[in-house]
Structure 1
Amino acid sequence: MMAKVQWWVKERTYREHGEEINQVAWHPCISHSVATASSDQLVKIFDTRTDRSNATIETKGDNINLAWSPDGTTIAVGNKDDLITFIDVKSSKIIHEEQFHYEVNEISWDRTGNLFAVTTAHGTVVFFDALGIQKDKDKRLEELHCLTAHTGNCICLEFDPTGRYFAVGAADASASIWDVSQLVCLTVLTRTEWVVRGLSFGYQSQLLALASEDPYIEIAKVDTGERVFALKCDAQTLTVAWHPKAPVLAYTLDDDLGSVRLFGVLD
């Protein structure tokens, strides 16, 4: 049974992007590193121990999604033209580009790093062999499986830290939680009234945060789908990201362009 928690807000703001930040994601291994993808065609990596970014990568379009590989060596960023760009973190250089010919809304690796997945406008999650491009940077991603997850547009996707689950948020104002090994839907969260735009599992895989056009961030238990907390927001939430090793949630709002907020939980 989960311990009772007290909720508090502690904020640090970074204002380096010229336009809205559409995705924020913590480094999976380094606790003080967080990356952002923005409509200003930039990807930035911040060291949260300082007041500024330590890397900036220029891309070819308006960035709408971003994901770290499980080992933290690679960042994938997608833009509005459905181009996925793979960035080597150490050198801050682009190492591969993949142009899709259908609408890609979200991207993510599974926790083994062997699979790369995307959500589509067709209500599907498509899984690819991620090892192929590591061996050959010029090789196209090889499709392995296509899963029908929702009846409408699948917007966002997130794998949990244990590798047991993944969650899908959709335009039908719901989010589904799936078993990775069986590809079976375990539960569906339906308390939001608007499009679910972002998802993030807590570092112990007990909590799932939902970003949506609702005026709050929904935080629910993974095993039961029960609401734990609704974090009131002044505007719709663009993206959410739990810290990989601590109960701290990073998020951005539609009316707070270029800024990242941090929300902490105390036991």
Structure 2
Amino acid sequence: EQDLLLDKAFGSTDDQVSKEYVRNFKRTSVDSIDWAGDKLLIACSRDQTLRLWDPERGEKERSWSGEWMCVQSDPNNPFVAAAVSWSGKFRVFDTRSSTSHVCDVDLKKTSSAMKEFLCMSWSPDSKNICLGNRNDQLYMLNMASGLKLGASKHLQCEINQICWAPDGDSLWLAAGGSPGKLHIFPTPSLQADMATSVVAHQHAAVCLAADPTGKYIACGGGDCLATLWDPRHRVCVGSFGYATQAVTTLSFNHTGNLLAWGTAGPGTSGGERNLTIVGTNTGSLYWQDTTSAPVQNVKWHPSQNVLAYTVSAAQLPEDNGR
């Protein structure tokens, strides 16, 4: 029934699908976004600011200074979020206050290797957060009773992105190299002898997203494909070939029926200037709209069919002030 409604919405000539810019947001490079209820958390390491933005009012509600690379809301509490910086700062904070923190630590004081973080993923039960850095190290942080460093692992492959399986029993890792592989570790132990690996793409596995209903995990690859995986049986159950460059960011909507992606690469080159939305159950291409620059981040609202996305600031036309 939901798929029929989506077919009708995207196939209609009426204005059932619309888009607009986030008003009054200054042009800057965005590293990470997530929804905090109906508001957006926007991490911008270049101008060293993490913002909570109200899209309806078109204004910043509050901000936190720091070179934050990744931000994610607590899966079970829209008023709590975690952020990690390139330099190793880690913070869990109340988004309703600029000064209230659950924890605020410098991870480098625990280990000098705990820095240059690139990815973060919060477990579905909110008890653990896993971090990955440029040196291909994984760190498990236990959040159940304060903050405690759990398992850690150095990998012999490039870590591009991580995400938890919807049941919370495993951590999926998208790895670089050819072919592109998915490495799946038991959690929270990250035991190597219980891990499995599957070939996911002809070239690097670049990005991951978990369907909130538990049906799929999606992986974007350097071979221009987005693939769907059964997280329980760890087999590929579908793929989409609507991209012509590497798929670098993915997100499912709250019902798992829609998958959005973008293809912006690092730096000032690469990526298609469009936003793509497909039906996970129907295989249909619902939306591939032209954008002013390649799409760098996508994130669906946790309970509505509202998609937030950012484009590469480095590739925006000079006369585009937004």
TM-score (norm 2): 0.66
SS of the counterpart of 1:163? coil
Q: 1:26·1:244 contact (CA, 8 Å) conserved in 2?
A: no
Q: Residues 31-79 of structure 1, C-alpha deviation per residue, up to 9 Å, x if partnerless? A: 3444444434444446554567845444422222111101012211111
Aligned-residue identity in percent: 26
Cα RMSD (Å) of the superposition?
3.0
Partner of 1:66: 120
Partner of 1:126: 183
- Matching of residue 29 in structure 1 with residue 76 in structure 2: yes
CA 1:215 to 1:33, structure 2 compared with 1: closer, same or farther past 3 Å?
farther
Match of 1:113 among 147, 163, 168: 168
More strand by share: 1
Q: 2:159·2:175 contact (CA, 8 Å) conserved in 1?
A: yes
How far apart are the structure 1 equivalents of 2:149 and 2:291? 35
- Matching of residue 178 in structure 1 with residue 236 in structure 2: no
Residues 5-84 of structure 1 correspond to what in structure 2 (within 5 A)?
Answer: 5-9=16-20, 11=22, 14=51, 16=64, 18-19=66-67, 21=69, 23-45=70-92, 47-49=94-96, 54=101, 56-59=104-107, 60-84=114-138
Partner of 2:273: 215
More helix by share: 2
SS of the counterpart of 2:163? strand
Partner of 2:207: 156
How far apart are the structure 1 equivalents of 2:97 and 2:299? 19
Partner of 1:203: 254
Q: Which runs of 5+ in 1 are unaligned?
A: 134-139, 257-267
- The Cα of 1:141 is off from its aligned counterpart by 4.6
- The Cα of 1:227 is off from its aligned counterpart by 2.8
Larger radius of gyration: 2
| Counterpart code for 1:2 | L
- The Cα of 1:230 is off from its aligned counterpart by 4.0
- The Cα of 1:211 is off from its aligned counterpart by 2.8
Q: Which runs of 5+ in 2 are unaligned?
A: 10-15, 23-39, 43-50, 52-62, 108-113, 265-271, 315-322
How far apart are the structure 1 equivalents of 2:291 and 2:147? 34
TM-score (norm 1): 0.78
| Higher relative contact order, structure no. (Cα contacts within 8 Å, ≥ 6 residues apart) | 1
- Matching of residue 98 in structure 1 with residue 159 in structure 2: no
How far apart are the structure 2 equivalents of 1:186 and 1:115? 19
Q: 2:181·2:200 contact (CA, 8 Å) conserved in 1?
A: yes
SS of the counterpart of 1:195? coil
CA 1:76 to 1:254, structure 2 compared with 1: closer, same or farther past 3 Å?
farther
How far apart are the structure 2 equivalents of 1:53 and 1:141? 38
Q: 2:249·2:262 contact (CA, 8 Å) conserved in 1?
A: yes
Q: 2:202·2:222 contact (CA, 8 Å) conserved in 1?
A: no
